[in-house]
Each structure stands twice: as structure tokens, then as C-alpha cells.
Structure 1
């Protein structure tokens, strides 16, 4: 595993990162960060550049308020239908990431985000796309993280640290602006402030887990 990571990192350093790669990275950030989520009237067309908008939603059956998963399901059958509900988002996220990676988004993220993520979380820069994706889609972020691990781009220690970052406030942008928006009128602080607090705490949680892995569980991850 370590040899694969070293060889892949060395090959990426030799590849030149052009303007197109940075454009692909910027598009990825816009797509997955929720910048154009819930746009006001007159600017709703910008929602076409938002991941959550592109996923869409299932319709309802007849006059029911429920989609095909229904309500009140239990056990394995309910779990199976719930998993089907997740598939479109994961497939769309992975497809978009593959296209963006083809145009160099991962290489650009490696160059730009490594100086930030390496000291904070101890992970390489291309993990930034997995973190950004998690802001809107927990499933897409998890799928991209798994893909990075399977390709040998990150270690087991990186995987645990990223999972800790994603677990706290997963999908916070889409969940916050869709669920909490009904309470915006009662806020005593700017509506963007809680999102900033969530992001800061996500980094704090990831850094804490990294510290624990490097101290209490150091022996367990020496070769991971």
C-alpha cells in the first residue's frame, strides 16, 4: 500500500498542472460546495451548477406525501429501499468526479490544498475534493474517499482522519439551508455564522482524531 502511494505521488509531481486543471477544480468547488444552492428569484438558473439541484428528488405516488420508499417500513426491506434512494446521488457524484479528475481537478487540488490540509489534517491535497463533496452529499463524499483509498492515494490513517472530518456535520450545507432555513427569521446572528462554526469544528474534530492516531494508536498505524 505504501509503495503504491509513493509511486502515485511521485508520478503526480511530474505531471504539469495547466490552467485547465485549475478551471476544473474551480468548477468542482462551485458544484459541490453549495455556493449556488437555494438561489433567490431571478438567479435560480444558477442552481443548474449545484450538485444538490442536479440530483433532484423523487416524485410522490398519487396524492401521497411519500415517495416510493413509503413510510413505516422496518427491517431489511426498509433498509433496501433506503439504499436505493442513495444510489442516484452516489452515481452522479462519482461520475462528475471522474470527469473532473480527467481534466486535472485532482492534480490542481493536490498543488493548492496540500499546504493547507497537510498541516491541519495530515492528508494530501486531493482529499480536498472529498471534503468539499461532503458539504452537500454525505454519500458522494464517502464514495470519493473510498475511491481514493482503493486507488492507493491515501493511507488507512488518512482514511480515518477524513472519515472523522466528514462525520461531524455531514452534508451540512444542503441540510442547513433546506431544513434550518425555516428558522432563519428567528436567528440572532448572521445566517452564515453557524455554517462557519460547523466547518471550524469539523477541522477541529479531524485534527483531534489525527492527534489520537499519532499518540494513543501510533503502533496500530505504523504501517498503515
Structure 2
């Protein structure tokens, strides 16, 4: 009885660790996570001709592109202003966000988020201070900033992350947003002038995303520590 009275409640880190130990993740969950990583990370984006069929399992390839109307680049057109232009731009983001959220629900059903929580927490927690469940949102940002933002908002709305985690994740995502997609779509025009293999700048930019995330995390735990005391 005395021990029950004197016992102290578990801190969030201990509760999270206990949950990871108690919760068993099956093989299907890891397969689901592996598919999610390949689908959202851009591994199958811009594959060589012999393996072009793998693009069917890539997020950017699967969402496709809009057709053009009367010479415009897409149905959004050109020269639009004010609320109507903003509405059409927002409408153009719907397919990618819906596809990402819909697929995430399916993958979550098969345990992808549980597998991500277990595998990625030992990596992301010490570096960025965020739980492993955020891994898919960060990976998705490599191809689509909109889908990555939608997944991040979903994590916040369901209570899986707090506002401090949100700020750190946003810093990671903002630096080099849509990295894989933009790199191969825009920088590819300069590949012929590169003095190093094309994958080296990509790796450097990916590492710098973590540098930015760590810098913001340090700022939040020092200069802005009081802003998150009630979190």
C-alpha cells in the first residue's frame, strides 16, 4: 500500500518506451512500411528505361499531371489573380493530398505506422527529438510538400506529436522541400556540368535537412524553452 502511494507516474519517454516494448509488430507491418518508404521516398522516380515499370509504385509518377487548356500549362491557366486564382491553385493540390492520405490509411491498417514507430524512434528521437511515427511524414516530404504537410497535420490532430515536434518537423521539411522531385525535375538540366556524381549533392542536401532540424531543436530547448513549458 505504501509502495503504491509513493510510486511516481511514468514520464512520457518511459511510457513511450514501454509501449514500444509491449506492442508487437508483425512481418506484415514491416512489409507495409517498406512499401511506404519506397513509394514516398522517390526510389522508383526517374528509373532507367529497363526498369521504368517500377514508376507505377512511385508517388509522383502515380499522381500524374494535369492536361492543358487553350495553351495554358494546366487547367489552372495563367494570369489569374485574387481569390479565384487561389481557389484553382488549392484545387490543384487536392489529388496528391488525397492520394497520400488515402494510402496512409491503408498502410496504417496493415501496421506501417507501428513499424515506423518501432524502427525510426531510435534514429529520430536522439537527433530531432521527434517520435518514429513521424518518419512517414518526413519521407513523404521528399517528393511532395503538400502531402507531407497533410500527414504532419494529421499527426498533430490525433495527438501523436506536440507543437514542439511540429516546429522541428516543419524546419526539416521546409529546407529542401520536395527534395527528390525538385532535384530531378529542375537540377537535371545541369547534370552535364556537374563535377561530382549526381547523387552527391542530393545526399548533401538531405543531410543538411537534419542540420536545420537539429538547429531549430536546439533553439527551442534554449532560447524558446519557456514557450513550450506547458506542452
* Structure 2 residue 30 is the aligned partner of structure 1 residue 31: no
Contact 1:164–1:209 (CA under 8 A) maintained in structure 2: yes
Which one of 57, 66, 81 corresponds to residue 49 of structure 1?
57
- The count of corresponding residues between Structure 1 and Structure 2 is 221
- CA–CA distance in 2 between the matches of 1:5 and 1:81? 44
| 1:168 has 2:202 as partner | no
Match of 1:91 in 2: 98
User: 5 Å matches for 1:132-151?
Assistant: 132-151=139-158
The answer for the alignment partner of 2:85 in structure 1 is 78
Q: Distance in 1 between matches of 2:92 and 2:193?
A: 33
Q: For 1:111 and 1:4, how far apart are their aligned partners in 2?
A: 16
From 115, 118, 121, the equivalent of 1:114 is 121
Cα separation, 2, equivalents of 1:54 and 1:12: 34
Residue 157 of structure 1 corresponds to which residue in structure 2?
A: 164
- Structure 1 residue 95 displacement after superposition: 0.6
* Structure 2 unaligned spans of 5+: 1-10
Following the alignment from structure 2 to structure 1, what is the Cα–Cα distance between the partners of residues 154 and 69?
A: 35
Q: Comparing both chains, which one has the higher relative contact order based on Cα–Cα distances under 8 Å and sequence gaps of 6 or more?
A: 1
State the Cα distance separating 1:15 from its structure 2 match.
Answer: 2.5
Q: Which consecutive aligned stretches of 4+ in structure 1 deviate over 2 angstroms post-superposition?
A: 3-15
Residue in structure 1 matched with residue 68 of structure 2 by the alignment: 60
Cα RMSD, aligned residues only = 1.9
Q: In 2, distance between residues paired with 1:157 and 1:6?
A: 19
Q: 1:58 to 1:219 in 2, by over 3 A?
A: same
Normalised by the size of structure 2, how large is the TM-score?
Answer: 0.91
Q: Are 1:215 and 2:229 counterparts?
A: no
Q: Tell me the alpha carbon deviations over residues 63-97 of structure 1, each in whole angstroms, 9 at most, x when there is no partner.
A: x1421110121221111110001010000000111
Checking the alignment, whether the CA contact within 8 Å between 1:114 and 1:124 is kept in structure 2 is yes
**SS of alignment partner, residue 189 of structure 1:** coil
Structure of larger gyration radius? 2
Q: Pick closer, same or farther for the CA change 1:9–1:146 going to 2, 3 Å.
A: farther
